[in-house]
Structures are given as structure tokens and as C-alpha cells.
Structure 1
Amino acid sequence: MADIVIMGAGLGGVIMAYEMKDAMRPEDRLIVVTRDPIYHFVPSNPWVAVGWRTRESVEIDLAPTFSRRGIDFKPVPVAKIDPETSRLELEDGSSLSYDYLIVATGPELAFDEIEGFGPEAFTSSVCHIDHAEKTALTLEEFCKKPGPVITGAAQGASCYGPAYEFTFILETELRRRKIRDQVPMTFITSEPYIGHLGLDGVGDTKGLLEGALREKHIKWLTSSRVKKVESGKMIVEEIADDGSVKATKEMPFGMAMMLPAFRGIKPLRGIEGLVNPRGFVVVDKHQRNPKYQNVFAVGVCVAIPPMGPTPVPCGVPKTGFMIESMVTAAAKNIGEILRGRKPIYQGSWNAVCLADFGDTGIAFVAQPQIPPRNVNWSGSGRWVHAAKIGFEKYFIRKMRKGTSEPFYESAALNMLGIGKLKDVSTD
């Protein structure tokens, strides 16, 4: 019998639990440890932030779902990880030993790295359901006295899709309220060009996104870093290719929503051999940590090198299908090890993304997510908006059911008709 602990219950942690339950032996015990007992469908946050969704419509109570699958659940935050003794210390004073640990914590949001940044200061966020609800309240106050809007992603960010989504969803909402003509909008990003997305683009995301911004009269600044934020004012530096400051601008705003950089959560940071300097877990091609062989990791907490040098640091996103492929590989590999065999499975790290723009949108498929690619396609249209709504309903229904069916692959097959996406390969 082996005790298998999953640390975290976001997107990666929940589907990891379902797939691990199928891959382990009947006598093994599976335990999920997490801070929040309620899962929220993060891709819906931009809709929550403009009042198009309620919190209740996108949340899942994990305890009954896990109970139906025979998965033990402990909603207590982890205070410390000791990989030398294979033990977790929890914030309630208890501890938990493991034979195998799967880290699926997601990131810590590094708002504190910029003065005046974040929902506790002067900018809004859609990274968490709490932030999205607060943004919705901010929007209501803003609409009483419209002014300039700033959206985008700060230096070191590794998740750009939600920044573009919120920008266009907000623009749609402002048009519906008939106040768009009173709101100058600027998109500020650390990307070297619009549509880079931390992936050096996918298909013609550069052309599609630039065209969409022009069509909606949204200005933009690229290769930019936020130096400081004050009430109603953001100080932004435009960076030249050689790393020097090309220009410093004071940007007024009535409302601002900027995505932050990510880092590993506090219990992970500083463990030599387990994580990189930012606190992200180092893994091999089998999702296994090279030093601590009984530790695996999936999702946003995994360390992935940037695509290449850029004037302002840009991280690599971990999209849903990519995370799902990590999960499948990790579950299958632990299943192999439990049965006395060697791990042989590798995640494909493909990407299927639907970015909703309020009444239209952009989709892309990257196989694999990191170039060079076998498939490198992007497209746009009203069908993307409809597909994103359909996928939200499909995903939440499947999560509540507790199925181990590959969510993103099924959605791709059902809605995009692009054929089979192989989620894992073997050595």
C-alpha cells in the first residue's frame, strides 16, 4: 500500500486526483491537501469581473465529489514541505507523510514586486474569483464616472490570454452600457509584440490581436514594465531591445487591471534541488523531480524556461491542455512505479485555447505548445465566443461529476473538430 498525496486542488490538482485514482492500485490511498475546499473555474473569471457570471455558477464543492470517488480530502493549507523525510507540515499543526507527492499548487501571485500593484492597492485582477468579484464592484463605481482604462500584463507575467480576454470583454460591456465613447483604453504588456503570449505567437496571433485592438480603438504598449502605481496613475517604462529605458510615461487611469508575475508558493521556495530560484518545481520529461524521485509536479507550479531573451521578461504559460497532458503522464508514470516498472510516459504539452472577446474571440492550436510545432494554427470569429461558453458548461459539469475523461481533449474534439490530440507519448 502506498500513500499518494496531491498538494493543491486547482485545475491540475483536481483532474490529477481523478486520473490518479484510476491509475493507482486498489490498495493505495489517495489524499488531496489544499487551501480552498471550493474549486472555481478560473477561465470564467473575466466574465465574473464584468458581472456576466456569479461566483456560485462557476464553483464546485470538492468534498462530496472526492468522497464519491473514494478520494480522501483535507482542506488545510500546507505550511512546510520536507522532501528529505517525505512529510508535509500543515497549518493546523498536523502533519502528513507520503510515499509519493504530486505538487499541483498553482502559483503565488507576485503583486508585491511592484509598488502599488494588485487588488489590495490600486489595480484590479482576474487571477482569483475573489479578485474578479472585487473587480466587478470596481467596475460599477468606475461606470458612474468613466475615464481612462489600462489593462495588460506586467513584467515577468506568464499568463497573457486572460489579459486580452478581459480587455475585450470589458470593451464589450462598456459598449453595452453606451459609455465606451467616454473611455480611452490602453493595453500595456511585457510581450515584445502583441500576440506573443509567452509562446512567440501561435499562427497569426500577432496579426489577429493587433487587428482586434485597432478595430476596437484600443492603443497598446509592448516591451513595457510597470515601475510604480499610484492612485489613478501608473508609471510605465518602455524598454529598448538592448534593455535600456526608451521612455518613461505617466499613464492616468480611472480603472486598471494588470496580471502579475507568478512565483512558487512559500512552502516550496528555497528547497534546493526541488525548485528553481522563482520557486517553481523542477521536473524531468516524466514530470518527476530529478533529486527527489518520489515527487512529481503538474500545472503552473512546474518550471519551464522562457522561450528566449526578450527586452522585458516573459514567462511561458501553462495552458489547460498542456496541464492535462502533464497530469496524464504523471498519473500513468506513478502507476507504473507502483507496479514495479519504470516511468515511460511523457506529456505532449499541446495547446488548445479559446479566448473570448465578449461577442467574438480568437482560438489557437499549438502542437506542441513550445515551437517548433507540427500544428501552428489560429483563427477568429463569433464561433469562438459560443465555443467558450459551451466549454465552460461542459467542463464544470464534468468536474462536478468527478470523471477522469480528458476535459480539454474532449472539448477540442467536440467543438473544434481538429481530430485526435495525443496527450502522452512513451519513451
Structure 2
Amino acid sequence: MAKIVVLGAGLGGVLAAYEIRKAVRRKDDVVVINEYDFYQFVPSNPWVLVGWRDREDIVVDLAGPMKKRGIELVVGKAAKVQPEQKSVQLGDGTAIPYDYLVIATGPELAFDEIEGLGPKGHTQSVCHIDHATQANLAFEEFCKDPGPVIVGAVQGASCYGPAYETLMIIETELRKRKIRDRVPMTYVTSEPYIGHLGLDGVGDTKSLLESEMRERHIKWITNARVLKAEAGTMTVEELNEDGTIKEVHALPMKFSMMLPAFRGVGAVQGVEGLSNPRGFILVDKHQRNPKYPEIFGIGVCIAIPPMGKTPVPVGVPKTGFMIESMVTATAENLAQIVRGEAPTHEATWNAICLADFGDKGVAFVAQPQIPPRNVNWSGSGGWVHTAKVGFEKYFLGKVRSGKSETFYENALLGLIKTHKIKAN
């Protein structure tokens, strides 16, 4: 009998628990450790910010579904992963032993790296449901006396889709409230160009997103390094291609949502051989840590090198489809290992993204996610908004039921069929 512990119950952790439970032997134990007793559908947080969703709409209690699938749920914050002892120490001093550990913690949000950044400072966030609900309260107050809005992603960020979504969704909501004419909007990003997305673009995302922003009268600053956020002002350095300073902007703002840089959570930081200097988990092609092969890493918490040199640091996103492929590879590899076999499965790292703009949106397919690609497609239209709403309902329904499915793969196949995208 093997005890398999999954650390984290976000997108990767929940799917991993379900798929591992299904793949391994009945006599093996599967345990999930999570700081909260709920799952949150983070892609819906931009809708929460503008009041289109409530907390209850996108949060799922995990106790019932986990119990139904024969998975033990331990609610508590991990203080330290102890590979030598093969245990996870919790904040209350409890140690949870494991034979195999799957780290799916997601990131720690590095708001502290920039003065005044984050919900405790002068900008909002959509990275957590608590942040999004706070941002909604701030947004409602803002709408009573509107002014300049800044949305974007700071240096070192590795997630750009939600920034574009939040920008466009806010713009759509302001038009609905008939106060758009009173709100200058600026998109500030570390990306070298609009639509880069940390992926050097996908299909024609550069033109699609630039066109959308021009149509909506949104200005932008790329190659941007945020220096600080203060009450009413954000100070930003705009860099040239050679990294020299082109211009320093003191941008007025009355409301702002900026995505921070990510780093590994405290429980894995500084563990030699397990994580890199930034705290991200080191993994091989089978999602295993080279030094501690009984430990696997999946999702946003793993280390992936950047696409290439850019004037301002730009990270690589770990999209839902990519995470799902890591989950499946990990579950199948664990099934082989507990049966005494060598692991053979590798993640495909393809990408499908639906970026909702509130009334329409942009979708893209990248196979693989990191270029060069076999499929490099993007498209836009009102159907993207409809698809995102449908996907939210579908995904949350599956989490509530405790069922394991290749959610993103099914969505990708639907896109390919509907839009006749050539797949490899």
C-alpha cells in the first residue's frame, strides 16, 4: 500500500487527486492537503470584480466530493516540505507522512517586491477569490466617482490572460453603466508587445488585441517596469529594446488591477534540489523531481525557463490545458510506479485559452504551448464569451460531482471541430 499526498487543491491539485485516485490501486491512500476547505474557479475572478459573479457562484466545498471519491482532505497550511523525512509539516506542527508527494500549490504572490502593489497597497488583484471580492467593493466605490484606470501585469509576471480579460471586462461594464466616457484607461505590461502573453504570441494575438484596444480607446505601455504604486499615482519605467530607460511615466489612477510576479510558496523555498532560487519545483520530463524522485510537481508551481531574453522579465504561463496534461502524466506515472514499473508518460504541454472580454473575446490554440508549434491559431468573436460562460458551468459541475475528466481536451476538440483548426 502506498500513501500519495497531493499538496494543494487548485486546478491542478483537484484534478490530480481525482485522476490519481482513479489510476492507482484501490488499496493505495490518496490524501489532499489544502489551506482551505474549498476550490475556487480562479478564471471567473474578473467577473467577480465587476459584480457579474458572487463568491458563492465560483466556490465549491471540497469535503463532499473528496469523500465521495475516497480521498482524505486535510485542511491546513503547509509550513515545510521535508523530503528527507518524506513528510509535510503543517502550520500547527502536525506532520503528514507520504510515500509519494504531488506538489500542486500554485504560486505565492510577490506583491511585496514592488512598493504599494497589491490588495494591502494601492492596486487590486484577481488572483484569489478574497482579492476579487475586495476588488469588487473598491470598484463599486470607484464607479460613484470615476477616473483613470490602470490594468496590467508587472515585471516577472507569468500570467497575462487575466490582465487582458480584466481590462476588457471593466471597459465593457463601464459602457453598460454609461460612465466609460469619464474613465481614461491604460494597459501597463512587462510584455515586449501587446499579445505576447509570455508565449511570443499565438496566431495573430498581437493584431487581434491591439485592434480590440484601439476600438475601445485603451492606451498601452509595453516593456514596462513598475517602480511603485501610490494613492492616485503609479510610477512606471518604459524601456527600450536594449534595456535602457525610454521614459518614466507618473500615471494618474483611481482604480487599478495589476497581476504580480509569482514565486514558489514558503513551504518549498530554500529546499536544495527541490526548488530553484525563485522557489519553483524542479521536474524532469515525467514531472518528477530529479533529486527526490518520489516527489512530483504540476501546474504553476513548477520551474519553466522563460521564452527568451526580453527588456523586462516575462515569465511563461502554465495554462489550464498544459496543467491538465501534467496531471494526467503524473497520475499514469504513479499508477506505473506503485505497480513496480518505470514511469513512461510525459505531458503534452499544449494550450487552449478563452480570453473573455465581457461581450466577446479572443481564443487561441497552441500545440505545443512553447514555439515552434504544429498548430498556431487564434480567433475572436462573441462566441468566445459564450464558450467561457459554458465552460465555467461545465467545469464547476464536474468538480462538484468529483468526476475526473480531461476537461480542456474536450474543449479543444470542440474548438477544432467548430472552427476547423488543423491539428497534428
Q: For 2:101 and 2:304, how far apart are their aligned partners in 1? A: 20
Counting only pairs closer than 5 Å after superposition, residues 63-78 of structure 1 correspond to structure 2 as 63-78=63-78
Q: For 2:167 and 2:309, how far apart are their aligned partners in 1? A: 26
Q: For 2:62 and 2:170, how far apart are their aligned partners in 1? A: 31
Structure 1 residue aligned with 2:157: 157
Render the CA deviation track for 1:348-396: whole Å, top value 9, x for unaligned.
0000100000100000000010011000000000000000000000000
The answer (yes or no) to whether the contact 1:190–1:313 under 8 Å persists in 2 is yes
TM-score, reference length from structure 1:
0.97
Structure 1 residue aligned with 2:132: 132
Structure 2 residue aligned with 1:251: 251
Q: For 1:390 and 1:2, how far apart are their aligned partners in 2? A: 38
Matched, 1:222 2:253: no
Q: For 1:297 and 1:133, how far apart are their aligned partners in 2? A: 30
- Which one-letter code corresponds to 1:15 in the other structure? L
Structure 1 residue aligned with 2:261: 261
Counting only pairs closer than 5 Å after superposition, residues 75-90 of structure 1 correspond to structure 2 as 75-90=75-90
Q: For 1:179 and 1:321, how far apart are their aligned partners in 2? A: 37
- Which one-letter code corresponds to 1:340 in the other structure? G
Q: For 1:422 and 1:327, how far apart are their aligned partners in 2? A: 22
Matched, 1:100 2:104: no
Structure 1 residue aligned with 2:57: 57
Structure 1 residue aligned with 2:187: 187
The DSSP-based 3-state class of the residue aligned with 1:138 is helix
The answer (yes or no) to whether the contact 2:202–2:366 under 8 Å persists in 1 is yes
Render the CA deviation track for 1:197-249: whole Å, top value 9, x for unaligned.
00000000000000000000000000001001110100000011221211111
- Which one-letter code corresponds to 2:99 in the other structure? D
Structure 2 residue aligned with 1:272: 272
What is the CA-CA distance between 1:113 and the residue it aligns to?
0.2
Number of residue pairs matched? 423
The answer (yes or no) to whether the contact 2:375–2:422 under 8 Å persists in 1 is no
The answer (yes or no) to whether the contact 1:348–1:422 under 8 Å persists in 2 is no
Q: For 1:122 and 1:204, how far apart are their aligned partners in 2? A: 34
The DSSP-based 3-state class of the residue aligned with 1:383 is helix
The answer (yes or no) to whether the contact 1:104–1:298 under 8 Å persists in 2 is yes
Closer/same/farther in 2, CA of residues 288 and 415 from structure 1, 3 Å limit:
same
Q: For 2:124 and 2:111, how far apart are their aligned partners in 1? A: 11
What is the CA-CA distance between 1:253 and the residue it aligns to?
0.4
The DSSP-based 3-state class of the residue aligned with 1:25 is coil
The DSSP-based 3-state class of the residue aligned with 2:174 is helix
Matched, 1:171 2:171: yes
The DSSP-based 3-state class of the residue aligned with 2:365 is strand
Q: For 1:409 and 1:5, how far apart are their aligned partners in 2? A: 25
Closer/same/farther in 2, CA of residues 422 and 40 from structure 1, 3 Å limit:
farther
The answer (yes or no) to whether the contact 1:227–1:235 under 8 Å persists in 2 is yes
The answer (yes or no) to whether the contact 1:409–1:421 under 8 Å persists in 2 is no
Q: For 2:304 and 2:218, how far apart are their aligned partners in 1? A: 31
- Which one-letter code corresponds to 2:390 in the other structure? G
TM-score, reference length from structure 2:
0.98
Structure 1 residue aligned with 2:371: 371
Closer/same/farther in 2, CA of residues 421 and 280 from structure 1, 3 Å limit:
farther
Render the CA deviation track for 1:254-303: whole Å, top value 9, x for unaligned.
10110000000001111111111110000000000000010001000010
What is the CA-CA distance between 1:417 and the residue it aligns to?
2.4
What is the CA-CA distance between 1:407 and the residue it aligns to?
1.0
The answer (yes or no) to whether the contact 1:235–1:249 under 8 Å persists in 2 is yes
What is the CA-CA distance between 1:422 and the residue it aligns to?
10
Ranges of 4+ aligned residues in structure 1 off by more than 3 Å: 418-423
Q: For 2:107 and 2:384, how far apart are their aligned partners in 1? A: 28
What is the CA-CA distance between 1:80 and the residue it aligns to?
1.0
What is the CA-CA distance between 1:420 and the residue it aligns to?
11
Q: Cα RMSD over matched residues?
A: 1.4
The DSSP-based 3-state class of the residue aligned with 2:346 is strand
The DSSP-based 3-state class of the residue aligned with 1:347 is coil
The answer (yes or no) to whether the contact 2:44–2:58 under 8 Å persists in 1 is yes
The answer (yes or no) to whether the contact 1:387–1:415 under 8 Å persists in 2 is no
Structure 2 residue aligned with 1:29: 29
What is the CA-CA distance between 1:91 and the residue it aligns to?
1.1
The DSSP-based 3-state class of the residue aligned with 1:417 is helix
Q: For 1:333 and 1:151, how far apart are their aligned partners in 2? A: 41
- Which one-letter code corresponds to 1:149 in the other structure? V
What is the CA-CA distance between 1:170 and the residue it aligns to?
0.2
Q: For 2:366 and 2:411, how far apart are their aligned partners in 1? A: 15
Equivalent pairs: percent with the same residue? Answer: 63
Matched, 1:354 2:354: yes
Q: For 1:402 and 1:413, how far apart are their aligned partners in 2? A: 22
What is the CA-CA distance between 1:92 and the residue it aligns to?
1.8
Q: For 1:4 and 1:257, how far apart are their aligned partners in 2? A: 38
Structure 2 residue aligned with 1:412: 412
The answer (yes or no) to whether the contact 1:363–1:384 under 8 Å persists in 2 is yes
Structure 1 residue aligned with 2:399: 399
The DSSP-based 3-state class of the residue aligned with 2:151 is strand
Structure 1 residue aligned with 2:143: 143
Render the CA deviation track for 1:93-149: whole Å, top value 9, x for unaligned.
211111000000000000000001101110011111011111111111111111110
Render the CA deviation track for 1:278-334: whole Å, top value 9, x for unaligned.
100000000000000100010000100000000000000000000000000011011
- Which one-letter code corresponds to 1:377 in the other structure? W
Structure 2 residue aligned with 1:206: 206
Q: For 2:335 and 2:3, how far apart are their aligned partners in 1? A: 13
- Which one-letter code corresponds to 2:57 in the other structure? S
Q: For 2:23 and 2:246, how far apart are their aligned partners in 1? A: 54
- Which one-letter code corresponds to 2:236 in the other structure? V
Closer/same/farther in 2, CA of residues 238 and 379 from structure 1, 3 Å limit:
same
Structure 2 residue aligned with 1:10: 10
Structure 2 residue aligned with 1:303: 303
- Which one-letter code corresponds to 2:366 in the other structure? A
Q: For 1:417 and 1:139, how far apart are their aligned partners in 2? A: 39
The answer (yes or no) to whether the contact 2:334–2:343 under 8 Å persists in 1 is yes
Structure 1 residue aligned with 2:293: 293
Render the CA deviation track for 1:149-194: whole Å, top value 9, x for unaligned.
0000000000000000000000000000000000000000000000
